[in-house]
Amino acid sequence: MRIAAVVATVLLSVLALFQLALAAGVPWGRAAYGGIWPGVLPRGIRINSAVFGLVFYPLATLYVLDAAGIRETQWLPAPSVVLWVLAVFFAIGTGMNAISRSPVERWWAPVSLGLAASCAVLALG
Beta carbons within 10 angstroms of residue 109's beta carbon: 17
45-55 tens-digit pLDDT:
999 999 999 99
- Rounded distance between C-alpha atoms, residue 5 and residue 21, angstroms: 24
**CA terminus-to-terminus distance, the chain:** 7
Look at residue 32 in the predicted model and tell me its pLDDT: 96
Amino acid at 43: R
Q: Report the largest interatomic distance among the alpha carbons of the chain, rounded to a whole angstrom.
A: 42
Q: Record the pTM.
A: 0.93
- Rounded distance between C-alpha atoms, residue 96 and residue 33, angstroms: 10
Whether 39 has a pLDDT exceeding 90, the answer reads: yes
Mean pLDDT of all residues belonging to the chain: 95
44-95 tens-digit pLDDT:
999 999 999 999 999 999 999 999 888 877 777 778 899 999 999 999 999 9
